[in-house]
């Protein structure tokens, strides 16, 4: 099975052009299933795995993992066995016969407009690091980028004069996203001092770099967000992804078209974008309760 998993990893990278983060998640899930097979079904061939084996594996996860995590692991198995079917290793996909657990719908977390403004004003923009941090958060809120997309940006992807950024999203799909004036100003201020961090080397193309001049990591941005949330006094646990949710929620509440938001976020399916309608409905009900005399 390990050889098949390695081949599947190469397939994801070359043919599916999946991100390193996506490939890593698949490999973690499949390694856990492989360990289960070694412990419970040693000697069983891949061609002998049926839906009962998959169901037994998922049964070992209940009580240890939440439904969302179990559903993801089942999805990983379905993708893996789809690949096995495609290459002729197995005839049918046994994971497709196993129903996914019910996953409770989660309303995306977001910040209010006042909270966003307070957060964006927190960094000390007199130095290179402060300007960098402000530019990062301004861009996340202005354009709704995934943090993985942001750290992958290179200097050639950004045009602050035209207010647009070229983004390589999930599945290596490219999209052009507008950048607001406030974010462009913050980016210009940072880029003026970027050489103090990255030097003048033409080899280093990353827009956002750390103290050592190398590309900033997603984890570093998560830590940065925690720091500024504390400094701003915002009593919410928020990640960089919450700024993406906030971007979409504020646009929806301001009357933006759902299809337009879908394009900006880089969602392949409108159903993914529609989760933000729950936030819009909650806001509408709040306004109704306050304004209607019979509410």
DSSP-assigned letter for residue 16: S
Residue 178: phi and psi, rounded to 5, are: -70, 150
pLDDT at 40: 86
To the query of whether residue 276 is one of the catalytic residues in this protein, the response is yes
Q: Of the listed 65, 109, 170, 275, which one is catalytic? A: 170
Q: Which helix (H) or strand (E) holds 191?
A: helix 181-193
Please state, in angstroms and rounded to a whole number, the distance separating the CA atoms of residues 291 and 263.
34
CB atoms near residue 140 (< 10 Å) = 25
pLDDT for the residue numbered 78: 95
Structural domains for the chain: 2-97 (1.10.150.130), 113-289 (1.10.443.10)
Model pTM?
A: 0.66
Give Cα separations from 118 to 223, 229, 293 (angstroms).
18, 9, 34
In the annotation, is 259 catalytic? no
Q: Give 34-57 pLDDT, tens digit per residue.
A: 999 999 888 899 999 999 999 999
Of 146, 215, 245, 250, catalytic: 146
Structure token digits, residue 201: 């080397």
pLDDT score at 63: 85
Collect all residues with Cβ–Cβ distance below 8 Å to 277 and sequence separation of at least 6.
252, 258
User: What is d(CA 166, CA 143) in angstroms, rounded to the nearest whole number?
Assistant: 11
Per-residue model confidence (pLDDT) at position 191: 93
Residues 6 or more apart in contact with residue 22 via CB below 8 angstroms: 12, 170
* Residue 22, token pair as written in the block: 């996506």
pLDDT of residue 107: 62
**Mean pLDDT taken over the chain:** 87
Question: Active site residue: 72, 132, 194, 244, which one?
Answer: 244
Which ranges of 124-239 would DSSP assign to H, the alpha helix? Answer: 128-143, 147-151, 181-193, 195-198, 218-232
Assigned token pair, 172: 């290596």
Sheet of 164-168, strands arranged across = 158-159, 164-168, 174-178
What's the pLDDT score for residue 285? 53
pLDDT value at position 27?
A: 94
Tokens of 135: 């530019």
The pLDDT value recorded for residue 93 is 96
* 230 included as an active-site residue: no
Neighbours of 201 (CB within 10 A): 9
Q: Which of 16, 166, 182, 241 is catalytic?
A: 241
Active site residue 250: no
CB count in 10 Å sphere of residue 183? 24
Collapse the DSSP code of 111 into the 3-class scheme (helix H, G, I; strand E, B; otherwise coil) and give the result.
coil
Q: From the candidates 26, 57, 228, 276, give the one annotated as an active-site residue.
A: 276
Which phi and psi (to 5°) does residue 92 adopt? -130, 160
Which residue in 41, 175, 182, 267 is the catalytic one? 267
pLDDT at 53: 95
Whether 170 is a known active-site residue: answer yes
Q: Using the structure block, give the residue that is written with the tokens 């992958």.
A: 152
- The CA dihedral of 188, 189, 190, 192, to the nearest 10 degrees, is 80
Low-confidence ranges of the chain (pLDDT < 70): 105-108, 200-203, 270-295
Give the three-class secondary structure for 209. Answer: strand
Which 3 state secondary structure label does DSSP give 65?
strand
pLDDT at 295: 47
């Amino acid at each position: 099975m390990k050889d098949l998993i390695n081949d599947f990893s190469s397939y994801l990278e070359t043919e599916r052009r999946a991100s390193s983060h996506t490939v890593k998640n698949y490999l973690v899930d499949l390694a856990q299933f492989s360990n289960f097979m070694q412990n419970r079904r040693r000697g069983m061939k891949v061609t002998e795995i049926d839906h009962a084996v998959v169901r037994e594996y998922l049964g070992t996860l209940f009580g240890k993992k939440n439904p969302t995590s179990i559903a993801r692991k089942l999805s990983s198995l379905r993708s893996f066995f789809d690949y096995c079917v495609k290459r002729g290793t197995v005839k049918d996909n046994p994971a497709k016969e196993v129903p996914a657990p019910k996953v409770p719908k989660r309303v995306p977390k977001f910040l209010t407009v006042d909270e966003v403004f307070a957060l964006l004003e927190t960094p000390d923009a007199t130095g290179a690091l402060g300007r960098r941090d402000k530019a990062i958060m301004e861009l996340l809120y202005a354009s709704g980028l995934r943090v993985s997309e942001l750290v992958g940006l290179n200097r050639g992807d950004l045009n602050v004069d035209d207010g647009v950024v070229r983004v390589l999203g999930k599945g290596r799909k490219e999209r052009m996203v507008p950048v607001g004036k406030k974010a462009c100003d913050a980016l210009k201020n940072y880029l003026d001092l970027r050489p103090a961090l990255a030097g003048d080397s033409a080899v280093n193309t990353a827009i956002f770099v750390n103290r050592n001049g190398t590309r900033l990591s997603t984890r570093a941005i998560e830590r940065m967000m925690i720091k500024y949330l504390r400094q701003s006094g915002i009593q919410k646990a928020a990640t960089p992804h919450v700024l993406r949710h906030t971007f979409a929620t504020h646009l929806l509440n301001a009357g933006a078209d759902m299809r337009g938001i879908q394009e900006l976020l880089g969602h392949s399916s409108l159903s993914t974008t529609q989760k933000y309608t729950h936030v819009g409905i909650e806001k509408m009900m709040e306004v109704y309760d306050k304004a209607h005399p019979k509410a």
